[in-house]
Amino acid sequence: MWGVCIFIKDNLHFTNINMDKYSTEKDGEIWAIKIHTPSGTIVVVTAYRSPNGDVTHFLNTLKTAVDQLYNNTTNIILCGDFNINYLSDNKKKTRH
């Protein structure tokens, strides 16, 4: 079921963030880690949406997940594959 991962260099201090409640088959998978550095904390979030998944559900879930992680002292890096083609006109890219 899971199709996302985060690779991290073995000498970096990090903590896994449990995002299981935000992942559902086909609609979206979200994983996150918190990297601890001397200058602060960085949260890396990766997300995947199946081309057949519900775009609205995925985007709403992703927003909820990022809102949970956000605070004004943490930098967030969001990456992944949302399977939305922004180079062509389509309904998926205008939903949110």
Q: pLDDT in tens for each of the 96 residues of the chain?
A: 557 889 999 999 999 999 999 988 778 899 999 999 998 899 999 999 988 888 889 999 999 999 999 988 889 999 999 888 777 776 655 555
Cβ burial of 80 (10 Å; 0-12, 13-18, 19+) is middle
- The domain limits of the chain are 13-94
**Confidence (pLDDT) at 51:** 87
Which residue, 35, 21, 18, 20, is CA-closest to 74?
35
CA atoms within 13 A of residue 3's CA, in its CB half-sphere? 15
Q: Compute the distance between CA of residue 82 and CA of residue 68 in angstroms, rounded to an integer.
A: 20
Here the tokens at position 76 are 């967030």
Q: What is the bridge-based pairing of β-strands 29-37 and 13-17?
A: antiparallel
CATH 3.90.950.20 holds for 13-94: no
